[in-house]
Amino acid sequence: MSLRIVVCVKYVPDATGDRHFAEDLTVDRDDVDGLLSELDEYAVEQALQIKEAADDAEITVLTVGPEDANDALRKALSMGADKAVHVEDDDLHGTDALGTSLVLAKAIEKTGYDLVVCGMASTDGTMGVLPALLAERLNVPQVTQLSEVSVDGGKVTGRRDGDTATEQLEAALPAVVSVTDQSGEARYPSFKGIMAAKKKPVESLDLEDLEIEADEVGLEGAWTKVDGATERPARTAGTIVKDEGEGGKQLAEFLAGQKFI
Amino acid sequence: MAEVLVYVDHVDGAVRKPTLELLTLARRIGEPVAVHLGANAEDAAKILGEHGAVKVLAADAPEFAEYLVAPKVDALQAAYDAVSPAAVLLPSSAEGKEIAARLALRIGSGIITDAVDVEAGDEGPVATQSVFAASYTTKSRITKGTPVITVKPNSAAPEAAPAAGTVEQLAVTVADSSKGTKIVSRTPRESTGRPDLTEAAIVVSGGRGVNGADNFPVIEALADSLGAAVGASRAAVDAGWYPHTNQVGQTGKSVSPQLYIAAGISGAIQHRAGMQTSKTIVAINKDEEAPIFELVDYGVVGDLFDVVPALTDEVKTRKG
Ligand SMILES: Cc1cc2nc3c(=O)[nH]c(=O)nc-3n(C[C@H](O)[C@H](O)[C@H](O)COP(=O)(O)OP(=O)(O)OC[C@H]3O[C@@H](n4cnc5c(N)ncnc54)[C@H](O)[C@@H]3O)c2cc1C
Ligand SMILES: Cc1cc2nc3c(=O)[nH]c(=O)nc-3n(C[C@H](O)[C@H](O)[C@H](O)COP(=O)(O)OP(=O)(O)OC[C@H]3O[C@@H](n4cnc5c(N)ncnc54)[C@H](O)[C@@H]3O)c2cc1C
């Protein structure tokens, strides 16, 4: 029996660019180059390792996003995923976390799965809630924030490093997993991988295919509303001194002036 | 007045500071009712009452420790059903966000995560978020259902406000479907004796410039002289010089102390994402072009191995 893995990957504006909001207070995606969220590369990597350890497994990468999000899928395919699903629909513009989880869950069910692998958080919204929402919607175990993961005998096990403790987790498949950037460096696509990716199938789905009404998603359907976004004023230039033997003392003087000592 | 549920973050009844901050914020939008899951609710109730909790709904069940997240969602949902609150506030920890998300979905409500402030508004609570590595500030609200909001640590100063803090037992049935993810073992983190990174008023962090685990005591000594927590950049963590639990940044802890001191850290966007909301920022870096200097209130261009020990000595002298 083949192990069906679905990896959720998000296409995000490059964090090193100048990110902005558009007039409708959604993310301005034209302004900055987009890419596969770096944290989702770790998800693809772990899926590939799980596949390599399994007898027979297939990896589908799934994204919900605009036309350009295809780039994120191609990157994941060139790393070694087998096929891709792209959910794209104009009515998705401005969808919030609950709406996104609805679309992802329906697409995952349609694709068929034994294991869903996500990143720990996107690099734009950075909510870190989608994996938990997917587990709730799909009614399967959530095995999240893992720094180590393995799948064997129909079970997924992993290590979760929490705030106050480290936990070893275990769940039966099907399950939703999310992995952190401690799970191991993601591989670079090889030339062969990049060439092969061009021939791999990308299935395109819209809301109708997933039997989702337009008013369940998008800005109109959102459960949350952004009323305002203001750019943080540039910090007023601070004092900068060169250490010529007195740097430590000068800094102490500053800290004392600010009542820290 | 409308009641507001506050999810209590605690270790065996020892309430963590972010919960007291939540109680302060909750009082702006209603009467706080605390939800305490696990042991020692009576101990927790005392401090929760001192900070404005009119009531503490308490439930203890072995499932909270045996299975991940979902049983706690069942319990919070029971509290929600019992109270019909105007809002639900939780701490923005990884677990807090996961519980919040699943609750929001179950009760048909929107969710806002990582708020840095919460105020009352005409159309319900308004949350302030600091987004895109703190380069933007947004104001958002929830338009459907009961607002579920998670709040970052250090978003408000805890205020004392005596209230009854009466403990009431909450009846919780953990669904079979919530027992999917077994916690096979748990190893509590060893205490260093230093303040908790996310709660500390002062954080001193070291980066690649510290150049080795053997040199981290230089950073620790400064931290100890100031009563500060120790942080690290991902470069320092990846090199194995300091534990990942001390990492500050996008994929580490997000800190917002009164004072942040960065030594040997260049100031990459992912590091900034975790510390840019600090009130006062200080950097020590030998490269005057380092991007961290764009953020600082005070910067010293110099070798950290000269500047940091000199500063530590000076702090000790001044503190006597
Ligand atoms: C700055 C900012 C703040 C926001 N704040 C809120 C808010 O408070 N409340 C709210 O409801 N919405 C909010 N949103 C919208 C929210 O980010 C999107 O709905 C988003 O797709 C889901 O949240 P996330 O990106 O934070 O995902 P996370 O929960 O951080 O993502 C975790 C993982 O889920 C998967 N994933 C996430 N999105 C997709 C996708 N589109 N396609 C495939 N896989 C995906 C990836 O594996 C990812 O690693 C915000 C967006 C931005 C840009
Ligand atoms: C998806 C993703 C998530 C990430 N998450 C995080 C995160 O959570 N936290 C994080 O920190 N990074 C994170 N990073 C990594 C980040 O991009 C940077 O690589 C990292 O912050 C660099 O760490 P650094 O500043 O210590 O090292 P460097 O960038 O190498 O800087 C070292 C600095 O030390 C200075 N220096 C050297 N020697 C001395 C000396 N003797 N005295 C004084 N100064 C000296 C140098 O001039 C230099 O400026 C993430 C990256 C990605 C892609």
Q: What is the pLDDT of residues A156-181, one digit of tens each?
A: 999 999 878 999 999 999 999 999 99
Contact map slice: A 21-80 vs B, CB within 8 A:
21, 25, 39
Average pLDDT, chain B: 96
DSSP B73: H
pLDDT > 90? residue B50: yes
Name the token pair of A72.
């994120």
pLDDT > 70? residue B35: yes
Q: Chain B partners of A139 at a C-beta cutoff of 8 Å?
A: 177
- B52-66 pLDDT tens trace: 999 999 999 999 999
Averaged pLDDT, B189-209: 94
Q: Do B310 and A172 touch (CB under 8 A)?
A: no
Q: Do B69 and A96 touch (CB under 8 A)?
A: no
Averaged pLDDT, A6-19: 93
DSSP string computed for B15-46: E-HHHHHHHHHHHHHSEEEEEEESS-HHHHHH
Averaged pLDDT, B230-238: 98
- A61-99 pLDDT tens trace: 999 999 999 999 999 999 999 999 999 999 999 999 999
Of A100, A111, A137, A142, which is best to mutate to test ligand 1, by the most ligand atoms within 8 angstroms of its C-beta?
Answer: A100
The DSSP element (H or E) to which B229 belongs, if any, is: strand B229-232
Q: Which atom of ligand 2 is nearest to the CA of B233?
A: 11
pLDDT > 70? residue B12: yes
b/e per residue A85-114 (b: at least 16 CB within 10 A): bbbbbebbebbbbbbbbbbbbbbbebbebb
pLDDT-derived band at B191, boundaries 50, 70, 90? confident
Whole-Å CA distances, B262 to A40, B210, B248, B307? 28, 11, 10, 12
pLDDT > 90? residue A17: no
Least confident stretch, A26-35, A83-92, B181-190: A26-35
Averaged pLDDT, A228-247: 92
The pLDDT value recorded for residue A22 is 87
- B143-185 pLDDT tens trace: 999 999 999 999 999 999 999 999 999 999 999 999 999 999 9
**What's the predicted TM-score (pTM) here?**
0.97
8 A C-beta contact, residue B48 and residue B56: yes
Q: Do B182 and A171 touch (CB under 8 A)?
A: yes
pLDDT > 70? residue A15: yes
Mutate to test the interface with A, among B11, B67, B105, B151 (most CBs of A within 10 A): B105
Least confident stretch, A225-239, B8-22, B29-43, B97-111: A225-239
Give the pocket of ligand 2 (CB within 6 Å): A 38-39, 181; B 207-209, 233-236, 247-252, 264-266, 268, 270-271, 274, 284-287, 290, 303-305
Give ipTM to 2 decimals: 0.96
Q: What percent of chain A has pLDDT over 90?
A: 89
- B264-295 pLDDT tens trace: 999 999 999 999 999 999 999 999 999 999 99
pLDDT-derived band at B18, boundaries 50, 70, 90? very high
The pLDDT value recorded for residue B267 is 97
Residue with the two structure tokens 């660019």 = A17
- B104-118 pLDDT tens trace: 999 999 999 999 999
Q: Give the residue whose CA is nearest to atom 31 of ligand 2.
A: B266
Q: Give the residue whose CA is nearest to atom 53 of ligand 1.
A: A125
pLDDT > 80? residue A1: no
Tell me which of B5 and A22 has the higher pLDDT. Answer: B5
The pLDDT value recorded for residue B1 is 73
Nearest residue, CB atoms, A223 vs list B110, B130, B296:
B110
